[in-house]
């Protein structure tokens, strides 16, 4: 038995010696890849978002460096810019440390160093400060669509804008796609052409599971970032929407064209009892579409997000259950200052839901931020690794306060809803299995009037 044991040890040592003597440390060569693909900069006017810049690939040499150019929002301090990340190949690095470079008055030079420590490429980064536009980008809401994702049947879902370009518009298609249908589509769907069409959807499974069986269709100014912690709890689902874009003007009204067809039957998902956690009840009233506009003065506190302040400076709205089958042009008046906003219901009853703040039906405001687990520093949300439609962040809900008519405007929010009660999972949802049509709102040609 002892001889047998010694024999096994000798064989093991012999094999180990052979393997060691044959191993070439250079066999697994380290990568020489050193090409940057994208750069992300913290938006100086809205720390909850980033600005993306693409890299133009040249030779990466001193004579012909790779180039990245980013246009910052108006009013940005070009001497104090924060680069969130420069996307480089795995195990490659960037020199100097991006956190140490803030001033982009002139072009700044970085080097992407490959894993092998030898190969490197020069990357020149330049930035400029743009000018504020008095009108919204893609404001026609027509014929500018880019692909966001695809359904199981192969059809795609879209958002207003152009691929690779920043857009002020967002929708909730990423979440609605779980139903294998989109709430916001181009009028020529499945082709990416035409104006915006919003259709409220019904889904029994989602309703019985988490109480969100009505997916009210909307499109808005801001960002929609799907976050795993905000998906299943019904009271957190609205935390995914980051309403508002940087803006400094005070328009007197918003003009647009719309058509609206209320759905067949308004339903609302409410808490059940016993084993039935959620149930749908029919509401004996027509559905209503709603458009609302809010102008705010915001002060972000990146270190202590709970100290962030959103002040209402101006607002206006329009709500209606009337069926409108031909294009109708309307002007939505905007009111500035607490007295004018509260008093708007007397002369403008269709705007009553915006004549106040912090009502149950008022817009929900959140500050989304991501805390770096190593440094503990707060910054904009980041995408989950390996995904295009999931984000990592913490949601800080903000209680809106009153501002003065004379306050400067820093942000503009605007939302178009096919079902005004969507915030409480109420509306007329499209459900072919029950021959019920969903409420349908079509919108185009949004113009700010001064």
Looking at residue 211, what is its pLDDT?
80
Q: Give the mean pLDDT of 148-175.
A: 88
The first and second tokens of residue 83, run together, are 């680069």
Q: Provide CB contacts within 8 A for 412, sequence distance 6+.
A: 221, 244, 245, 247, 293, 294, 295
Pick from 4-18, 48-62, 297-311 the range whose average pLDDT is largest: 297-311
pLDDT of residue 236: 79
Task: Tokens for 135, please give them.
Answer: 């009108």
Here the tokens at position 132 are 């504020």
Spatial separation of the C-alpha atoms in residues 229 and 390, rounded to whole Å: 11
User: CB–CB of 44/76 below 8 Å?
Assistant: yes
Residues 309-333 have a mean pLDDT of 98
- Report the percent of the chain where pLDDT is more than 70: 91
What's the rounded mean pLDDT across residues 44-68? 90
Residue 386: the pLDDT is: 66
What domains, with CATH codes, occur in the chain?
38-129 (2.60.40.2340), 145-449 (2.60.120.890)
Q: What pLDDT is attached to residue 177? A: 65
Mean pLDDT of the chain: 89
Query: Is residue 58 very low, low, confident or very high in pLDDT (cuts 50, 70, 90)?
Result: very high
- For the chain, the residue count is 450
Tokens of 348: 């403008």
Instruction: Give the pLDDT confidence of 259-298 residue by residue, as tens digits.
Output: 999 999 999 988 888 888 888 899 999 999 999 999 999 9
Residue 329's CB: how many other CB atoms inside 10 A? 10
Q: What is the mean pLDDT of residues 416-444?
A: 93
Q: How confident is the model at residue 28 (pLDDT cuts 50, 70, 90)?
A: low
Best-predicted range by mean pLDDT (155-169, 273-287, 379-393, 402-416): 402-416
Calculate mean pLDDT across residues 107-136. 94
Distance CA 359, CA 355 (A): 9
What does the longest C-alpha to C-alpha distance in the chain come to? Answer: 104
pLDDT-based confidence at residue 18 (cuts at 50, 70, 90): very low
Per-residue pLDDT at 14 exceeds 50: no
Reduce the secondary structure of the chain to three states and give it as a string: CHHHHHHHHHHHHHHHHHHHHHCCCCCCCCCCCCCCCEEEEECCCCCCCEEEEEEECCCCCCCCCEEEEEEECCCCCCCCCCEEEEECCCCCEEECCHHHCCCCCCCEEEEEECCCCCCEEEEEEEEEECCCCCCCCCCCCECCEEEEEECCCCCEEEEECCCCCCCCEEECHHHHHHHCCCCEEECCCCCCCCEEEEECEECHHHHHHHCCCEECCEEEEEEECCCHHHCCCHHHHHHHEEECEECCCCCCEEEEEEEEECCCCEEEEEECCCCCCEEEEEECCCCCEEEEEEEEEEECCCCCHHHCEEEEEEEEEEEECCCEEEEEEEEEECEECHHHHHHHHHHCHHHHHHCCCCCCCCCCEEEEEEECCCCCCEECCEECCCCCCCEECEEEEECCEECCCCCCCCEEEEEEECCHHHHHCEECCEEHHHCECCCEEEEEEEEEEC
Check residue 275 and give its pLDDT. 80
User: Is 24's pLDDT higher than 60?
Assistant: no
Between residues 11 and 310, the one the model is more confident about: 310
22 pLDDT higher than 50: no
pLDDT of res. 2: 44
Which segment of 40-49, 258-267, 329-338, 394-403 scores lowest on mean pLDDT? 40-49
Q: Are 224 and 167 in contact (CB under 8 A)?
A: no
Q: Note whether 293 and 220 are within 8 A (CB).
A: no
* Residues in CB range of 418: below 8 A, 6 or more apart: 183, 198, 199, 200, 216, 217, 218, 260, 287, 289, 427, 438, 439, 440, 441
Q: What is the mean pLDDT of residues 164-172?
A: 91
**Residue 351 pLDDT > 60, yes or no?**
yes
pLDDT number for residue 26? 47
Q: What is the pLDDT of residues 184-215, one digit of tens each?
A: 999 999 899 999 999 999 888 888 887 888 88
Q: Which two tokens stand for residue 120?
A: 């490197």
**Of 275-284, 310-319, 378-387, which has the strongest mean pLDDT?**
310-319
Q: What is the pLDDT of residue 16?
A: 46
């Amino acid at each position: 038995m002892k001889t047998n044991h010694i024999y096994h040890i000798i064989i093991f040592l012999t094999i180990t010696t052979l393997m060691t003597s044959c191993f070439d440390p250079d066999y697994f060569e380290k990568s020489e890849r050193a090409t940057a693909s994208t750069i992300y900069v913290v938006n100086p006017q809205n720390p909850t978002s980033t600005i993306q810049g693409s890299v133009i690939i040249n030779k990466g040499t001193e004579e012909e460096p790779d180039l990245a150019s980013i246009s910052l929002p108006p009013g940005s301090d070009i001497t104090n810019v924060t680069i969130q990340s420069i996307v480089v190949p795995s195990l490659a690095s960037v020199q100097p440390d991006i956190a140490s470079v803030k001033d982009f008055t002139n072009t700044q030079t970085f080097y992407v160093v490959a894993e092998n420590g030898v190969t490197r490429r020069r990357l020149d980064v330049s930035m400029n400060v743009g000018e504020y536009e008095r009108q919204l980008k893609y404001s026609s809401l027509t014929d500018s669509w880019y692909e966001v994702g695809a359904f199981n049947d192969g059809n795609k879902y879209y958002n207003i804008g152009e691929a690779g370009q920043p857009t002020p518009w967002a929708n909730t298609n990423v979440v609605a796609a779980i139903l294998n249908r989109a709430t916001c589509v181009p009028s020529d769907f499945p082709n990416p052409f035409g104006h915006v069409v919003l259709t409220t959807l019904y889904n029994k499974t989602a309703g019985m599971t988490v109480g969100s069986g009505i997916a009210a269709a909307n499109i808005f100014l801001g960002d929609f970032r799907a976050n795993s912690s905000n998906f299943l709890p019904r009271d957190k689902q609205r935390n995914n929407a980051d309403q508002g874009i940087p803006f400094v003007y005070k328009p007197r009204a918003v003009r647009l064209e719309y058509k609206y067809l209320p759905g067949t039957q308004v339903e609302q998902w409410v808490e059940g009892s016993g084993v039935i956690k959620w149930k749908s009840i029919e509401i004996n009233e027509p559905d209503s579409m709603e458009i609302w506009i809010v102008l705010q003065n915001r002060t972000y506190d990146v270190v202590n997000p709970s100290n962030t302040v959103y002040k209402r400076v101006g607002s206006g709205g329009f709500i209606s259950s009337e069926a409108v089958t031909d294009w109708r042009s309307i002007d939505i008046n905007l009111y500035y200052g607490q007295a004018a906003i509260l008093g708007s219901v007397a002369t403008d009853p269709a705007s009553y839901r915006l004549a106040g703040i912090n009502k149950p039906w008022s817009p929900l405001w959140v500050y989304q931020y991501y805390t770096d687990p190593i440094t503990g520093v707060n910054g904009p949300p980041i995408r989950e690794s390996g995904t295009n439609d999931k984000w990592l962040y913490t949601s800080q809900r903000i209680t809106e306060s009153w501002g003065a008519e004379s306050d400067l405007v820093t942000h503009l929010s605007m939302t178009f809803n096919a079902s005004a009660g969507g915030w409480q999972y109420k509306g007329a949802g499209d459900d072919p299995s029950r021959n019920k049509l969903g409420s349908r709102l079509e919108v185009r040609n949004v113009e700010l009037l001064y």
